[in-house]
Amino acid sequence: MPDTLLAPTRTLNSLGFAKPPAQTRVVVAMSGGVDSSVVAALLAREGYDVVGVTLQLYDHGAALAKKGACCAGRDIHDARRVAETMGFPHYVLDYENKFREAVMDEFADAYLAGATPVPCIRCNERVKFRDLMETARDLNADCMATGHYIQRAVGPHKAELHRAADPDRDQSYFLFSTTQSQLDYLRFPLGHLASKAETRALAAEFGLGVADKPDSQDICFVPNGSYAAVIEKLRPGAAQPGEIVHVDGRVLGEHNGVIHYTIGQRRGLGIGGGEPFYVVKLDADRRQVVVGPREDLATRRVPVREINWLGDAAFEDAPEQGWEVEVKVRSTRPSTPARIRPTGPNTAEVELAVAEQGVAPGQACVFYAPEGPRILGGGWIHKG
């Protein structure tokens, strides 16, 4: 695709640089999975100066036998084998301390405060797209490529972030905090593919051993999806028992820590029969789990902070009535019409056209253009 940000009279390579692939160094963030492996193989086949980098993010001695997660010791081995097969150098960087400080500690503290965090977003934001990108620049790389299903397009003003061609694989919800300077440096070679089957077919074509490797499912440092167990390990004794309270003030039972509950939860409340109750609020200060009927989960107003804005106009220059956009308040939900009204340089109130249920502090609210695939950024939902 011609890159209109560069001189139009020069021939550009597939990554948008006006020089031959052999003179273009690209660092590929390799998780050991099929997606990033195919990215590295594709670029190596095209003749780019590829350098593969895999991050060791936490104690892999405890992860070697764990299936369904990224970042385990087996994944490092798989990434190294891909590099050997395709003939490019591969390095493993020890980021355990950075990962714990930037991702795991906040994850635990957010749950203890009654929020529902999304650590994969923080990992992209603070580790992969910050620290690893600095390493890529230190290696004199022209850009960094990843296996994410999202697209980078060159717009009339600057590089833009667009949804993946395959809506079932689109990872835009997890990449909303990508800054403009990061986007200028990043490349996403898989975002245009129509299906994951195409990626696996390419892996088989290259003879990669990861062609049939299952996709990661769990958060890499949360074995078997047991968030509470991880939090207890990170913050021993921090989970305190308390009351399960109805929205009308009635005490219905007791719990052994708010970390065991999430907004919208219905099962496992331990308060017996009767009408179905849902968790509608987590009050960590009072150590209360507040429950109520399903309709009490519905909300149209969502306070958002730490906004990363990728629109063309300045965020604070929004019209009086705000920006008309579409938003996602959960990764598994479709985008829905909304209006954003800035309340500060990086804060806003989002008004949903139709009420959503189970909007939880700690989750992301991602902004999309009302028409077309462009991602306009997003922010973090808070209690207001």
Answer yes or no: 120 catalytic: no
Q: Count H helices and E strands in the chain, helices first.
A: 9, 17
For the chain, where are the alpha helices, taking DSSP H only?
34-45, 73-86, 96-99, 105-112, 119-123, 132-138, 180-185, 196-205, 227-234
Specify the residue for token string 């980098």. Answer: 53
Give the C-alpha separation, 358 to 331, whole Å: 13
Q: Which of 70, 71, 120, 123 is catalytic?
A: 123
Q: Which of 70, 71, 120, 220 is catalytic?
A: 220
State the maximum Cα–Cα separation within the chain, in Å, rounded to a whole number: 73
Answer yes or no: 71 catalytic: no
Number of Cβ within a 10 Å radius of residue 138: 9
Structure tokens at 52: 């593969």
Q: Is 148 exposed, middle or buried (0-12, 13-18, 19+ CB in 10 A)?
A: buried
Structure tokens at 241: 């028992």
**Contact in structure between 271 and 228 (CB atoms under 8 Å):** no
3 state DSSP class of 205:
helix
DSSP string over 273-307: SSS--EEEEEETTTTEEEEE-GGGGEEEEEEEEEE
What values do phi and psi take at 187, rounded to 5?
Answer: -135, 145
**Contact in structure between 172 and 150 (CB atoms under 8 Å):** yes
The distance in angstroms from the start CA to the end CA of the chain is 43
Give the catalytic positions in this structure.
123, 220
